[in-house]
Amino acid sequence: MRIATWNVNSLRARMEKVRWWLERARPDVLLMQETKLTDAEAPVAAFREAGYELVHHGQGQWNGVAIASRAGIQEMTRNFGLDVEMGARGAEDQVNPFAEARMVGAMCGDVFVVSLYAPNGRVVDSPHYAAKLEWFQRLAQWLADAGAGKNVVLGGDFNVAPEDIDVWDPAAVHGATHVSPPERAAFQKLCGLGLADIYRAQHPGAVRYTWWDYRGGNFHRNIGMRIDHLLISTPLVSRAVWTEIDREARKGKPIPSDHAPLLVDLDERGKEFDPGWPDPS
C-alpha cells in the first residue's frame, strides 16, 4: 500500500496538478490539507473518475482536510469527534482551533489513516501559538484512545520542523514558530505514543524539505523546512519499504503548491518515479 500526504494549498487551484500526480505516483491513499473548500464543493466526482473515494472536512476558503482512497473508506472521524460549529469564535483574546477543519481520519484497508493540518501558531506566545499547543494536546489524547490496537498512519502538515536538520538555517528561524521547544516537544509526544517519523528513520542525514516559500527563489536555493510528516505505528515500521519526498511535484505548470508530496510504501514498492533530488555524490 502506498500512502501519501500533500498540502495542496487550494484543491480547486491545484486539481489539475493533483490529477497529474495521482497518475504519476498512483498512491492507494492520499491525505490532503488546505483544500480551502466547503464539503459541498469537494470534487468527489473528479476523484471517483480517477478511481478514488473521497471524504472531506472543510469550512470554505480556509483550512480543510481530505482523504482520497482506492483501498476503501470506513469509520470516518472528523475534528476528533467534537461537535463544534465550524468558524465558531472564542473570546476576543482567544482562538478556537477546534472550530477549524483540521483533522479527518478513516480506516483504509487495514490502516487507520489521519489527515491533519496543524495550526500555524503565527507568533510565539500569541493566542494563536497557545491554540496550536492546545490542538496538539487534544490530538495526542484522542490518538491514544482512537489509535489503540490499530495500524496508524498520521500524516499531514504539522507546521513543526522536529530538528535543526529540518530547516535550512537554524539560526535564521531561532525563536520563531515551527521550531520552538514546546512545538517540538508536542511532536515528540506523538512519537512517544508508538509512532515513528518514517522519513527521518529511513533518511537520517537527508537535508531535504517539504515546504519552500514561493518568494525569492527559495525553492531553487533549497531554503525550506520539513514540516509535512508521516508518523506510522510500530507494527508498520517493518512493513515500510520506501519513503520519499517528491520534489518534482513542486515544479512546473500548472502552478504547484508550495508543499511537496511525501509518501511511504508498505509491503512492496509502488509505481516507480524519479523524485528529482540531486545526487548527493
31-40: burial string, b at 16+ Cβ within 10 Å, e else: bbbbbbbebe
C-alpha angle with apex 65: 220 to 233, nearest 5 degrees?
A: 85
**Would you say 7 and 156 are in contact if contact means Cβ atoms under 8 Å apart?**
yes
**β partners of residue 67:** 31, 55
In angstroms, the CA 190 to CA 264 distance is 18
Distance, CA of 183 to CA of 122 (rounded, Å): 12
Domains of the chain plus CATH, in order, are: 2-266 (3.60.10.10)
pLDDT 10s per residue in the chain (281 long)?
999 999 999 999 999 999 999 999 999 999 999 999 999 999 999 999 999 999 999 999 999 999 999 999 999 999 999 988 887 766 556 799 999 999 999 999 999 999 999 999 999 999 999 999 999 999 999 999 999 999 999 999 999 999 999 999 999 999 999 999 999 999 999 999 999 999 999 999 999 999 999 998 999 999 999 999 999 999 999 999 999 999 999 999 888 999 999 999 999 999 999 999 987 64
Burial class of 187 by CB neighbour count within 10 A (0 to 12, 13 to 18, 19+): buried
| Positive or negative torsion for Cα 212, 215, 220, 224 | negative
Q: Which residue has the cell 490496537?
A: 149
Paired sense of beta strands 53-57 and 29-33, if any = unpaired
CA distance 193 to 256: 34
Q: Are 265 and 240 in contact (CB under 8 A)?
A: yes
CA distances for 17 relative to 39, 84, 160, 261, angstroms: 20, 33, 25, 11
Please give the backbone phi and psi of residue 25, each rounded to the nearest 5 degrees, phi first.
Answer: -105, -20
pLDDT in the model for residue 281: 43
Which residue(s) pair with 262 in the sheet? 5, 245
Q: What CA–CA distance (Å, rounded) separates 152 from 73?
A: 14
What are the E-state strand segments in the chain?
2-7, 29-33, 53-57, 65-69, 74-78, 103-108, 111-117, 151-157, 195-197, 211-212, 224-225, 228-233, 240-245, 262-266
According to DSSP, residue 167 is labeled B
Q: Give 29's strand partners.
A: 3, 69
